[in-house]
Structure 1
Amino acid sequence: MSGASWDDLAPRLASGAAMVAVGLGAVWLGGLWFHALIGLICGLMVWELVRMLDTGRTRSAQLLALVAGAAVVIAIELPASFALPLLLLPSMVGLSRMEQGGATYAVFTALILLAGYGMMALRDDFGLLWMLWLVLVVVVTDIAGYFAGRLIGGPKLWPRVSPKKTWSGATAGWLGAALVGLAFAGATDAGIGLMGISVAVSMASQIGDIGESAIKRRAGVKDSSALIPGHGGLLDRFDGMLGAALFIVIAGQIVGFPPGLQ
């Protein structure tokens, strides 16, 4: 392998370490620190989304990013009944600013903000432990899928949109998530049903990943942006977490969360 192939290794490692440090610090501190980080991330993801869908709309991207970031930070401080319309407001505002991709923007922005709200609510309501559970499920899904996909290979999951993802990688991700669920079920009073929820969260994170890949394929871009040296954009790094967090918002209304502790 030539030396040039490793040219981006240093910035990739440095930016990755910085992301981990900032993320873990904010998760640990919780409260306003975590809310501020989620608001910033949601705003920047909306900025990336607008730039991918409607090229050249720089001022609109900036405005909608500001509206989205502010909306999610304010929403978590309000009763849920008032938070919900605020979380959908950036989608409505964007419809009047977008010349292309308005419908995709509106739907995906709503998902981004609901996921951000879900992560803040999970940290606020259930504490550090369950936020770490969510992160571990997503990370293990990604790592297990990466290695199984390359070592085992086999049929592709959706080759037209994401040619590198395989059924073997997806299945390995589910198994890894189930083990995380089993470990947390044993370490807490949560029931064994946490294994099933963990697998479903794993599937949701994979759907989030593939959904973002579909948007990039439609936009004809490799990365959502170049915000993170060696990693692409925030949507590239947090697409799986978006799907997982959004699923928790929905599933929590159906099965109660955490299972066995309600």
Structure 2
Amino acid sequence: MSEKPSVLPAKWDDLTVRITSAVAMTVVGAIGVILGGHWFQMMVVFVTAVMVWELWMMIRPESATSGMLLAALLASVMSGQLHDETLFAIVLFLVVPSIGAFYLKKERLTFFCFALGIQLAGWGLVHFRADYGFTWILWLILVVIATDVCGYFAGKTFGGPKFWPSISPKKTWSGTSAGWLGAGVVGFVFIMFTNAGWSIVWISMVLSFASQMGDIAESALKRRMRVKDSSTLIPGHGGLFDRFDALLGAALFMLLVAYVFNVPGVAF
């Protein structure tokens, strides 16, 4: 008895698995974002710790136990750090990246920079949720989602010239620009029910670009480490680092903006 041929073209083969995994992550993430407080903190700390473990495993896969211990240390450090407003809390950002880099035999600077970026982004997300509330963390997340979804479908549908073929061969200019447009639409929608002015549209598009750079940075890391995915934790998506790399880029951008312009709440 012959197998029933797939209804979807080959280039869409992964769509069902991706959507199923995305829905599951969206439900869990939405619950955490809506509840806020300690629930959101615990979710972010967990995801941040797992991403640091994935980073370690890409560089030193033969030492899984060390990676798990490092992730546990990060979870402990970050949990205390989120409730400490002193200079000591800032110094704590260096603990896990420094210890991990010390015990690695190669790619020490790579680990230090990425681990520090992951931790900073996680810290920023928690404070954005606490200081600015549900609406604006929702805006940030929706911009990242719109960028990813619009970019995925436009890239698959239209193809065309590659955006940065030496680092991310699958990304096209059509998908990249569609991501910007999708983010702009999100900004436009938020004008209707918030006090944000028209500037939120172009800010959303800049944030979209920052999220794409987070994706590009992780793609460059994987290419350097010669791995396809950061891990196999999420069917159709790879690891948490693969799924949240764009959100990391967006969060780091917003943290930079808050620091440079001394935005109340998250500026040091």
Q: TM-score, normalised by structure 1?
A: 0.90
**Contact (CA 8 Å) 1:54, 1:101: kept in 2 or not?**
no
- Tell me which residue corresponds to 2:141: 135
Q: Which moved more, 1:209-218 or 1:39-48?
A: 209-218
**Amino acid in the other structure paired with 2:250:** A
Point out where structure 1 has 5 or more consecutive residues left out of the alignment: none
**Amino acid in the other structure paired with 2:176:** A
Q: Which moved more, 1:163-172 or 1:239-248?
A: 163-172
**Deviations for 1:75-99, whole angstroms, at most 9, x for unmatched residues?**
2111163322112211111121111
Paired with 1:168 and 1:7, the residues of 2 have a C-alpha distance of 21
**Amino acid in the other structure paired with 1:190:** A
- Alignment partner of 1:183 is 2:189: yes
Change (3 A) 1:191 1:7: closer
| The one of 194, 198, 210 aligned to 1:192 | 198
SS in 2 for 1:252: helix
Tell me the CA shift for residue 173 of structure 1. 0.9
- Alignment partner of 1:253 is 2:259: yes
- Alignment partner of 1:53 is 2:59: yes
- Tell me which residue corresponds to 1:150: 156
Paired with 2:150 and 2:15, the residues of 1 have a C-alpha distance of 22
- Alignment partner of 1:240 is 2:246: yes
- Tell me which residue corresponds to 2:212: 206
Q: CA RMSD in A?
A: 2.3
| The one of 98, 104, 111 aligned to 1:98 | 104
| The one of 120, 123, 127 aligned to 2:126 | 120
Q: Which moved more, 1:171-180 or 1:102-111?
A: 171-180
**Deviations for 1:88-129, whole angstroms, at most 9, x for unmatched residues?**
211111121111211100000000011001110110001111
Point out where structure 2 has 5 or more consecutive residues left out of the alignment: none
- Alignment partner of 1:29 is 2:35: yes
**Amino acid in the other structure paired with 2:216:** I
SS in 2 for 1:223: coil
**Contact (CA 8 Å) 1:182, 1:195: kept in 2 or not?**
yes
Q: How many residues align?
A: 258
**Contact (CA 8 Å) 1:60, 1:97: kept in 2 or not?**
no
**Contact (CA 8 Å) 1:141, 1:174: kept in 2 or not?**
yes
**Amino acid in the other structure paired with 1:41:** V
